[in-house]
Amino acid sequence: MNPTTNQQPDRRTRYAAAMAVRDGDTWPTQYESDEQDYLRRADAAIALADAEQADLRSYEQRLREQHDLDVAEVRRLRDELSEYEVMNPQQCPAGKHADWLVDSERTHACPWCEIERLKSATK
């Protein structure tokens, strides 16, 4: 390990070599000072890459935690919903009114037909 960067030398060297080749130089370079310059630049690039990776890992962890909270909330809501009585659809026998839901399986009179019947009975 490089004591300056706490990175394995092969990673540091790979970064430096990639920069040298990108600049049209050779690796190893002809001059020691050029090589040291590329190694310093590699240290900076590695530090930046590591910091970015740490940020991404932190962000990923926050997303995972939020996901777990969301899943728990969905489960809680499903459990709460399962406690409600099942509602069964009913249709107007005359076919004149919208469907509605009731809390039993037996057939109910259409509430709108019933309102019409009561209104006509009071006229």
The H or E element spanning position 88 is strand 88-90
Question: pTM value?
Answer: 0.54
Per-residue pLDDT at 43? 97
Per-residue pLDDT at 75? 95
**What b/e string do you get for 19-35 counting C-beta neighbours within 10 Å, with b at 16 or more?**
bbeeeebeeebeeeebb
Q: Quick one: 70 and 101 in the same domain?
A: no
Show the domain range for 112.
Answer: 88-121
Characterize the bridge pairing of strands 88-90 and 100-102.
Answer: antiparallel
Q: Quick one: 61 and 16 in the same domain?
A: yes
Q: What is the pLDDT of residues 44-98, one digit of tens each?
A: 999 999 999 999 999 999 999 999 999 999 999 998 888 777 777 788 888 888 8
* Position 7 confidence tier, pLDDT thresholds 50, 70, 90: low
- Rounded CA separation 32/20 (Å): 13
Q: Quick one: 25 and 76 in the same domain?
A: yes
Backbone dihedral angles phi then psi of residue 73, each to the nearest 5 degrees? -65, -40
- Answer for the pair 83, 42: CB distance below 8 angstroms, yes or no: no
Higher pLDDT, 2 or 11: 11
Q: Quick one: 92 and 76 in the same domain?
A: no
Q: Quick one: 14 and 72 in the same domain?
A: yes
Q: State percent of the chain over pLDDT 90.
A: 56
